[in-house]
Amino acid sequence: MAGADPWSPLELRCGRILRNRFLLAPMTTDSSHEDGIVSGDELSYIERRCSTEFAAGITACAYVDDNGRAWRGIGANRDEHHDSLRRLAEAVRAGGGHAILQLYDSGRLARPDLVAPADMRAPSSIASLRPGAHVPRAMDGDEVVDIIHAFVGAARRGIDAGFDGIELHGGNHYLLHQFFSPRANAREDDWGGLQEKRMSFGLCLATAVRKAIGSSALLGYRVNPFEAEPGGYSLSDAAEFVSRLCEVGLDYIHISMDDFRKRSPQREDRDWTAPEGQVGAENPIEVLSRAVQGRAAVIASGGIRTAADAVEALAMGADLLAIGRAALIDPEWITKLKQDDEAAIRTALPATAERIAAELTMPARMVDYILSRPNWLRREDGLGIAGEGRI
């Protein structure tokens, strides 16, 4: 099956036109100030990568509530964040592409050094599988409504600050994912139980945000294709969910994967290897693209490093491609790709933290995080491999 030309434009449902099929993927820098104000190093990092041919850039996840932070990241929960968000939008639009603000709440994955364990809340009082995870308290009905309002407020702030659109982070085991997961959501009210009710939080949230930002703004939803752990949701469950999300008026579905060719998502303990029997027979891009049926664009992500990779992912049914690790290692990746100069593309990190920060315009905390995961990216000194993960 032939896919779209990677350099062809694409008109989205909202009427906005992307000049090609490449987007800068959302990658957490963990480098904002403690009050959620974007740091100068973050702005430099994003501006360098977006001063290129990317059709759009998706920011690192911005928190909508202080008690939902998993990173020392971008704040979008207060009006005082307006100027910070404005500067961020300008940096993302540096090369003329669209700026998309990703919003999230970590739920039970809140980081203990940022959120007191007593303040950690989730759909149900069930701990994550991650080592050392705290047992969160279950949100009451009013809190569920309040967090929807928090997302709506953050989305409005983003649009008011100059962003062209909003991405709702419904993947990677954060709060939206937790509401959909039968493993994490054992509620017996309107927000849990059967799949129809477990879908209700994401559907209500997407509907509310679409109403708040209007029909001319971009709206996307990020989702994992399935859960690797026993008792998690399946690929067919995800297909039903994304089909329902398309009824809300989304512009795109962003499939969160470590490698677009693989059929297993990130486990909750951050292991990318699914247990035997938990890997599907079909590629998630193909399955979810069929479920979407052209009602929204589909973004493939994970392991797209070459022109051949891009063509292959588009042939699977994707409409757009989110580029993460390739743009981390080489900020001018897309420029070299367009110039048909793949031989010039950098494929390994510099050997030292100092060189990584200086040569790749990367915040120091982001460098520390990357180097703490030795099997994630190849380094020039031979350490590390082309890893199986993603920020």
Q: What would the pLDDT profile of 213-243 be if each residue is shown by its tens digit?
A: 999 999 999 999 988 777 889 999 999 999 9
pLDDT score of 377 more than 80:
yes
Torsion of CA 265, 126, 70, 26, to 10 degrees: 30
313-to-1, 195, 262 alpha-carbon distances in Å? 11, 29, 11
Residue 390: what pLDDT?
39
Give the pLDDT mean for 140-148: 98
Asked if 365 and 31 touch (Cβ cutoff 8 Å), the reply is: yes
Torsion of CA 13, 14, 19, 21, to 10 degrees: -40
Residue 78: what pLDDT?
98
pLDDT tens digits along 40-85: 999 999 999 999 999 999 999 999 999 999 999 999 999 999 999 9
What predicted TM-score, i.e. pTM, was given to this entire model? 0.95
Residue 388: what pLDDT?
37
pLDDT score of 387 more than 50:
no
pLDDT tens digits along 80-125: 999 999 999 999 999 999 999 999 999 999 999 999 999 999 999 9
Asked if 356 and 348 touch (Cβ cutoff 8 Å), the reply is: no
Give the pLDDT mean for 150-168: 99
Residue 384: what pLDDT?
53
Give the pLDDT mean for 206-218: 99
Helix (H, G, I), strand (E, B) or coil at 328: helix
Residues 6+ apart with CB under 8 A from 340: 307
**CA pair distance 56, 54, nearest whole angstrom:** 5
Residue 123 backbone dihedrals phi, psi, to 5 degrees: -55, -40
What is the DSSP code string of 280-326? Answer: -SS-HHHHHHHHHTTSSEEEEESS--SHHHHHHHHHTT-SEEEE-HH
CATH among 3.10.105.10, 3.20.20.70, 3.40.50.1440, 3.40.50.720 for 10-371: 3.20.20.70
Confidence category of residue 391, pLDDT binned at 50, 70, 90: very low
Domain ranges of the chain: 10-371
Q: Where are the alpha helices (DSSP H) in 27-102?
A: 40-50, 82-92
Assigned token pair, 163: 């962003």
pLDDT score of 271 more than 70:
no
